[in-house]
Amino acid sequence: MVQMLRSNHWQSAAIPGSSVRTIDSPAGRVEAHVLTGAAFQRAAQNGQIPEGAVVFQTRHGWQYGRSPYGSDMGIVRNGTVFNYKQNSGMAIYRNVREAVVLLPR
């Protein structure tokens, strides 16, 4: 996510319910519009996550550093997230804590 945002070819979507936050990672620091899990689910139900968007989700928060598990991404396809397989909904994890939606510039 950080590398995509720093490339300047992608931007985080200002979806209603999101707030701008700084995200630090080994790849650098970026500002992104972050949705809580509940706000992401509401936006998905309201059709506010566009087809082709790249969705990053975490179960722990973006600063969680104890293991590489619990953060993943997928691409919105046919109204659901494709993450190695077509999911039945927009959540990669059942307990999404936060999400960031990226769109091409």
pLDDT, tens digit, for every residue of 33-77?
Answer: 999 999 999 999 999 999 999 999 998 877 756 556 668 889 999
CB 52 within 8 A of CB 81: no
pLDDT at 94 (0 to 100): 80
Look at the chain and report how many structural domains it folds into. Answer: 1
- Total Cβ atoms within 10 A of residue 57: 25
pLDDT at 93 (0 to 100): 76
Measured distance CA(38)–CA(27) in Å, rounded: 27
pTM for this prediction: 0.89
Extended strands (E) in 1-105: 10-12, 19-25, 28-36, 54-58, 71-77, 80-82, 98-104
Map residue 87 onto helix, strand or coil.
coil
pLDDT at 85 (0 to 100): 73
Range of 55's domain?
2-104
Which of 71-96 are b and which e, b meaning 16 or more Cβ less than 10 Å from the residue's Cβ? bbbbebeeebbebeeeeeebbbbeeb
Mean pLDDT of the chain: 88
- Reply yes or no on whether the pLDDT at 87 is more than 70: yes
